[in-house]
Amino acid sequence: MDTIKKTAQIGLIVLLVLIVTILHYSSDHGALGAHISHREFYFIPILLSSLWFGLKHGLATSFAISLIYAPQVLVHSETPSNLWPVVFQIMVFNLVAIMVGFLVERSKRQQERMFVAEKSAALGRAATAVGHEMKDLLNALKSIASKTARPEGGALNQEFEKELLRLEQLVDIFSSFKTTGPLQLFSHDLNDIIRERVKHHRAVAGKNGVSFTTDLDAEGCPSRVDIETIRRVIDRIIQNALEVSVPGKAIHIHSTRKGDRCEVTIADEGPGIKPEHLPQIFKPFFTTKENGDGLALSSSQKLLRDMGGDIQVASEYGKGAIFTISVPREYSEGLLR
């Protein structure tokens, strides 16, 4: 349906340009009033193209109309002085396209941000309710497991504990969507947190034949963060990197000061992310994993934004992925540390 609508809109724009052009070129070259009318009619397809398709297509339409409009006026011009009005008119065509296209695209971005915010708030409310119920269920299952565990059921007990741990992680992810008040942010050196989390994951990485390389800012990265939150986010990114890394590969972690931010990049040497998946990677419930829930990255983004930070991803398919975490730097007596 959208394709049909878009085709009809393009067809209407082309038809309007064609009609105005026929009138423009069939009029007597001395009929100044007719040419002025035709010039004004050209604004209709320019405006429609900008409103329907945005800046890029609106500008393309105005440029095409400029090429169509100019020759008829210039060829039949009796004096060279008519060149400047034509140049000015072409500038006006393109300026209108730029202004309208820019305003339309800005409005679309604002609507998208509002939609994301509304969806995040709705997800937060749903996650709060579901997380509360799941937490009660988890506690009940743990209680039952502690009472019914038997020495002879070692393998079964381990499998059950593994599933309980997975459920606990899912509850933790759901809880991170809960809307809370302002976070209590304190000064922490990101380098210390990175060293701690790398040490925590080194044993699992070693079993998988994966190594870590770190390149941390020599002057440290004192930042305003909630330490448990930033630990949780770094853990999730490292875990994702470990899941996609094969033996012999490495995970590279780098920290640096950048203006009023501190940045941490976590790069893996895995298969990378397909280009069509990149725009959706932080959307709730989007996942390419067979047993994934699609919530870890979206909740990490929300947690960081609650702290005034953010997370971005870059990837060349087949050459790994790079996640960049940014958080506000620490201020000390009005100066950045």
Q: Return d(Cα 172, Cα 131) in angstroms, integer.
A: 8
Q: Return d(Cα 201, Cα 233) in angstroms, integer.
A: 14
pLDDT at 69 over 90: no
Q: Where are the domains of the chain?
A: 1-179, 186-336
Q: What percent of the chain has pLDDT over 90?
A: 20
- pLDDT at residue 201 in the model: 93
Burial of 286 (0-12, 13-18, 19+ CB in 10 A): middle
pLDDT at 149 over 80: no
Pick the closest to residue 282 from 291, 290, 294 (CA basis).
294
Contacts of 315 (CB under 8 A, 6+ apart): 272, 273, 278, 321, 322
- pLDDT at residue 97 in the model: 87
- pLDDT at residue 333 in the model: 46
In CATH terms, the superfamily for domain 186-336 is: Histidine kinase-like ATPase, C-terminal domain (3.30.565.10)
- Using 50, 70 and 90 to split pLDDT, how confident is the model at 250? very high
Q: Check residue 333 and give left, alpha or beta (phi > 0: left; psi -120 to 50: alpha).
A: left
Per-residue pLDDT tens for 269-315?
999 989 888 888 887 777 777 666 567 788 788 888 888 899 999 99
For the chain, what is the mean pLDDT? 79
Q: Are 191 and 221 in contact (CB under 8 A)?
A: yes
Q: Return d(Cα 220, Cα 324) in angstroms, integer.
A: 17
- pLDDT at residue 290 in the model: 65
Q: What percent of the chain has pLDDT over 70?
A: 67
Range in 121-125, 203-207, 208-212, 231-235 the model is least confident about: 121-125
Q: Return d(Cα 212, Cα 104) in angstroms, integer.
A: 46
Pick the closest to residue 326 from 231, 228, 230 (CA basis).
230
pLDDT at 185 over 60: yes
pLDDT at 319 over 60: yes
Mean pLDDT of 252-274: 92
Q: Return d(Cα 309, Cα 224) in angstroms, integer.
A: 10
Q: Return d(Cα 30, Cα 36) in angstroms, integer.
A: 11
- Using 50, 70 and 90 to split pLDDT, how confident is the model at 75? low
Per-residue pLDDT tens for 86-125?
778 788 888 888 888 888 888 887 777 776 666 666 666 6
Long-range contacts of 235-241 (CB under 8 A, 24+ apart): 235/197, 235/200, 235/201, 236/296, 236/297, 236/300, 237/266, 237/300, 237/323, 237/325, 238/197, 238/198, 238/201, 238/266, 239/201, 240/268, 240/296, 240/297, 240/323, 241/266, 241/267, 241/268, 241/270, 241/321
Identity at 300, one-letter amino acid code:
S
287 vs 216 pLDDT, higher one: 216
